[in-house]
Chains A and B, each alone.
Chain A
């Protein structure tokens, strides 16, 4: 699930326009939303091409 919704980004943009939010902070939110969308698109494409499944995890036990 995306960290920022469209509504949150729109509100952040308005705050930036009103001078209540630094551009760098607004840009950081946009960058993060873009990165999440790119990762989601990559996962979707990979799943379509190669039957990708989410990585669950592997437990490793070290014996003394």
Chain B
């Protein structure tokens, strides 16, 4: 059975939970005939990408979907592109705070997701989940993971397809935030991620 590797992040920035991992651990064992393999990865510019690449090496998945939290967004957002750039507003969980720097010297400026992001967003909407394609994964660890994975797969001429989806804050998080912040129940995020992965599995 082919595999889908789905990753979610540990909490960061003083939060107790990270909705990306909350939704990943609730995924079913099998989606569209593909076995789901989960990996919880650190919010670290160095260890985050390394953990995903190690899991890819170990599991040899045909699809890789990394999921991350995007506080302030109201929709589930498949990311179109990862950029070769880091500019951290806050330190990562290792205390590193790269600013205005390239992630990988000598690598391209950007890598496009190899997942069908427009179709995935539409599949999510069709399933009743607020979703839209995003054209910026930011400049924090999420983008570092996306760019590093896409670059590594391209460099190795792998046939695995990869991408990234951001999810909003959960209501539990939003309750404890000082300013008004959009949130989405984890059950709805789950429906979105499952619909997106079903679409990706049936694509091409």
Contacts and interface: CB of A to CB of B under 8 A. Distances in A.
Contacts of B99: none
A21 to B, nearest CB: 12
16 contacts: A6-B29, A7-B29, A9-B28, A9-B29, A13-B28, A13-B29, A14-B28, A23-B186, A23-B187, A26-B26, A27-B26, A27-B186, A30-B26, A33-B25, A34-B25, A38-B40
Contacts of B104: none
Nearest to A31: B25
Interface of A: 6-7, 9-10, 13-14, 23, 26-27, 30-31, 33-34, 38
Q: Is the interface of B mostly helix, strand, loop or mixed?
A: mixed
Interface residues of B, number: 9
A10 B29 CA distance: 6
Interface of B: 22, 25-26, 28-30, 40, 186-187
**Most chain A CB atoms below 10 A, which of B30, B186, B187:** B187
B147 to A, nearest CB: 27
Nearest to B22: A27
**Most chain A CB atoms below 10 A, which of B22, B28, B30:** B28
A27 B172 CA distance: 14
A17 B186 CA distance: 14
7 closest residue pairs by CB, A with B: A13-B28, A23-B187, A10-B29, A34-B25, A30-B26, A6-B29, A30-B25
A29 to B, nearest CB: 9
Given A23-B187, A27-B186, A10 B28 contact: yes
Given A23-B187, A27-B186, A10 B30 contact: yes
